Structure 1
């Protein structure tokens, strides 16, 4: 809440309110004094220092790699240990002097060296070739470093390694749902929640996407449509984010808001993929049937329920429309025709209505990312309908015209229903 952009806007408002006589100068001074100090940002010197440190680290690694075969095994291992010790020592030194960004960078470099050490030790001693297990070990070490140092960079390294691990496991065993990743993800989510960090929340939200994508695009998976499975994942992420943000806690508000933003963009992406992959622009399956695993359907339904629960707690009309948007995207899957003949006008209408609900939801709740996601979804769905390779272009143009008329009628009704202040 107390980031730089907010403070700049608040300062401008205080000056304007004081000039208009809305508040007294003493009240404005009290508000300014009550605000906590801003955390130090990244200045030019810090940026140059980061680049210099990365160049020195790259030069060191290149030198070691060039002479790797000439160095004894014990010396190689000692070099790796020394690299982690030096990175940790520098991080502690920077942290003691309040250089939080540089301390975070050192912890991140240490986590990266740890991962390199796993690979190099395995190569030196000809250990098993289970690369996925190595990635899991790297992820555990990086997350442990994040817990001990509070480093967002180490958290990012751990989540990247975990994402690679789960993608490799899905590739190795496409017929088995890789649930162990969720345990790692939940641990990282709890860490981000405890830190009350927006950056960590972004990292956690992004880390969920590779698991859903890898799980959805398994070609051996019972003929399921990947876009429908992705839609269920987006629904759960969106609904869970709204429900968490509705909890009476600043930590929950920040964490849930970030999750809901990524959920909204994921939902728009899923709507676009439903049109472009099921209707033959890009083919992933032989048929257009709404094949979905039961667990994915349950996730989507839970997402809708959580969004409705959030709307009941916050009493916001925008979140009711968000739940409608989620439900309409999920509804497109069962109403899609099982055969390739003809076009699914009802599914098209559901997806367009869902994206329109997403835009209106963001406007009512004053959540700009949700509005942007809705507009991008509308553009993607319209483009998918227009450039679909099957069916009559004349029929599609008539459908889009009818949808436009319906949207204008909906806008007219909203203009009469909403108070003048909210228009």
Structure 2
């Protein structure tokens, strides 16, 4: 954020020197940048947050290690005191312009709440499993995020839901059914993120849903999951590119919905290609999927690459991946070791040439507008 604000200030000075804006406008813009920069986390604030997190972890570990020596009532009182002290202390610090430390105390309180679930459940031999504990922890953290309008607590709630999905998806809890409930969790947390103005949580939720779909494709039929993912991704990308303002007002992702859509498109096609790779010599399904992937990458760069460097780099990675998987599936048996290194050199050269040419094309319109 500091680097961005520095670049904006230099741009404001350059615009004023070039006569594009007057002195009063430059002053207004500079003051707006300064006001928004104050709200960002400084390096000292980040260190303070990390120190608070380590302090909270030390308290929980100390209590857990001396659990048997502490009277039962004192245990419960200490746990609730840690939770209450973290939330109340964080709120007080937030009102006194110590936002980073206050948010850190809220995270400590949320961690203490999760530890309390495990320790009290063990102490009173309460029925339930780890999955139920994670759901309770996540629900409590989400409620705290709504009550306190906290961005970090919202991200923490999403992370807890992701932990539940990961453990359930990989059968750590001896599950009897696939964790479809994650879709409902994601929907609730997405709504919570609007209440807490947590754009980071929305990005994490979209990535988590993509991970859920990958698990679903692995656990169930592959193509019935991957093909709709590709279609929906194309629709989202097209809508976000041709109607950016209303779409971003709705999802509030900072204009990065095309990036998520491209990632979904590439993921869906990768699933399809892996599914059809063994049958590539018997039908043309793999070749069609590869052509669609390459065409989609080119279209993404042409339509939205100029506005998003992240999207361009994702497209470059996708292009390199497509070249690699096409080679592995269709050409591996035709080349010896020396030929492989030659082909790899040629492929890397092609990728580098394409990246250089695309970057020049992206920079040319900006340069022409600056000269004009």
Give the alignment's TM-score, normalised by structure 2: 0.77
Structure 1's unaligned 5+ residue stretches are 281-287, 289-336
For residue 141 of structure 1, report the CA deviation from its aligned partner: 0.3
In 1, Cα distance between the equivalents of 2:249 and 2:150?
18
User: Which residue pairs with 1:225 in the alignment?
Assistant: 222
User: Which residue pairs with 2:106 in the alignment?
Assistant: 107
Secondary structure of the corresponding residue to residue 279 of structure 1: helix
For residue 374 of structure 1, report the CA deviation from its aligned partner: 1.0
The structure with the greater share of residues assigned to helix is: 2
User: Which residue pairs with 2:200 in the alignment?
Assistant: 199
In 1, Cα distance between the equivalents of 2:45 and 2:101?
8
Alignment of 1:38-57 (within 5 A): 38=36, 39-57=38-56
Structure 1 position 384 matched with structure 2 position 325: yes
Structure 1 pair 132/34, CA: closer, same or farther in 2 (3 Å)? closer
Alignment of 1:12-91 (within 5 A): 12-32=10-30, 37-38=35-36, 39-91=38-90
Is contact 1:205-1:258 (8 Å) kept? no
Is contact 1:268-1:373 (8 Å) kept? no
Is contact 2:155-2:200 (8 Å) kept? no
In 2, Cα distance between the equivalents of 1:369 and 1:154?
26
RMSD: 3.8
For residue 382 of structure 1, report the CA deviation from its aligned partner: 0.6
Is contact 1:92-1:103 (8 Å) kept? yes
Is contact 1:235-1:263 (8 Å) kept? no
Is contact 1:132-1:164 (8 Å) kept? no
Structure 1 position 184 matched with structure 2 position 180: no
Deviates more, 1:154-163 or 1:196-205: 196-205
Secondary structure of the corresponding residue to residue 68 of structure 2: helix
Alignment of 1:152-191 (within 5 A): 152-169=151-168, 171=171, 178-191=179-192
Deviates more, 1:76-85 or 1:269-278: 269-278
Is contact 1:342-1:391 (8 Å) kept? no
For residue 173 of structure 1, report the CA deviation from its aligned partner: 8.8
In 1, Cα distance between the equivalents of 2:20 and 2:297?
40
In 2, Cα distance between the equivalents of 1:198 and 1:278?
37
Is contact 2:142-2:192 (8 Å) kept? no
Is contact 1:240-1:256 (8 Å) kept? no
Structure 1 pair 48/5, CA: closer, same or farther in 2 (3 Å)? closer
Is contact 1:108-1:151 (8 Å) kept? no
Structure 1 position 262 matched with structure 2 position 266: no
Structure 1 pair 173/135, CA: closer, same or farther in 2 (3 Å)? same
Is contact 2:154-2:198 (8 Å) kept? no
Higher relative contact order, structure no. (Cα contacts within 8 Å, ≥ 6 residues apart): 1
In 1, Cα distance between the equivalents of 2:100 and 2:52?
13
For residue 378 of structure 1, report the CA deviation from its aligned partner: 0.6
User: Which residue pairs with 1:361 in the alignment?
Assistant: 303
Q: Deviations over 1:352-410 (max 9, x none)?
A: 2222222223325x22222111111110011111123787536x98xx99xx8xx99xx
For residue 208 of structure 1, report the CA deviation from its aligned partner: 2.2
